[in-house]
């Protein structure tokens, strides 16, 4: 159990890092492509999370945009965390990248802000991974002498066994008789 839980936490942290990196790369690909289009806001809606017990409620504003790409395809995308000043029917500039799957965003390019956020998130997840590995290493070092007590060795004998049947040295009776 003291290895399974930290391993699970490490795996989740690494997967979260991969998702964050993928999202940032998709957004940068859209910004760096140089392709822009006029997108229309078709719909706005909010999502809420939390609020159970004493936790706070978090609300996120989403926008659904639609634009026509350079190759004539109509692209519709949903983007969370949009500005509250954009309402249905407004036109915004959409940045997008071409390809089989078009990556699009209506967020203004801000590579420094996204870079700092990426460093902060990856730093936090790195601390979680280092803590998990450190916990497992320290647990194995501290409880190594007791490991044989609870689980035995691979041969089935305890770590105090000296090779005799009852685990005592061969001359233990002679040392007791001489006293």
pLDDT in tens, the chain (179 residues): 778 899 999 999 999 999 999 999 999 999 999 999 999 999 999 999 887 878 889 899 999 999 999 989 999 999 998 889 999 999 999 999 988 889 999 999 988 998 999 999 999 999 999 999 999 888 878 776 665 555 555 544 555 555 555 556 666 666 666 66
Query: How far is the C-alpha of 166 from the C-alpha of 173, rounded, in Å?
Result: 12
State both tokens at 108: 């203004």
Query: How far is the C-alpha of 132 from the C-alpha of 8, rounded, in Å?
Result: 9
**Can you point out the beta strands (E) in the chain?**
35-50, 57-68, 74-80, 91-97, 103-105
């Amino acid at each position: 159990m003291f290895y399974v839980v930290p391993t699970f936490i490490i795996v989740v942290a690494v997967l979260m890092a991969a998702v964050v990196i993928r999202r940032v790369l998709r957004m940068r690909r859209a910004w760096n492509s140089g392709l822009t289009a006029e997108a229309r806001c078709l719909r706005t809606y909010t999502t809420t999370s939390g609020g159970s017990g004493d936790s706070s409620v978090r609300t996120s504003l989403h926008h659904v945009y639609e634009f026509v790409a350079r190759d004539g395809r109509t692209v519709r995308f949903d983007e969370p965390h949009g500005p509250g000043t954009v309402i249905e029917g407004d036109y915004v500039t959409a940045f997008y990248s071409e390809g089989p799957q078009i990556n699009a965003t209506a967020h203004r390019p801000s590579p420094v802000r996204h870079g700092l956020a990426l460093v902060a998130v990856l730093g936090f997840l790195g601390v979680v991974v280092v803590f998990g590995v450190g916990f497992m290493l320290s647990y194995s070092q501290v409880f190594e002498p007791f490991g044989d007590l609870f689980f035995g060795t691979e041969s089935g004998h305890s770590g105090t066994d000296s090779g005799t049947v009852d685990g005592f040295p061969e001359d233990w009776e002679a040392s007791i008789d001489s006293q």
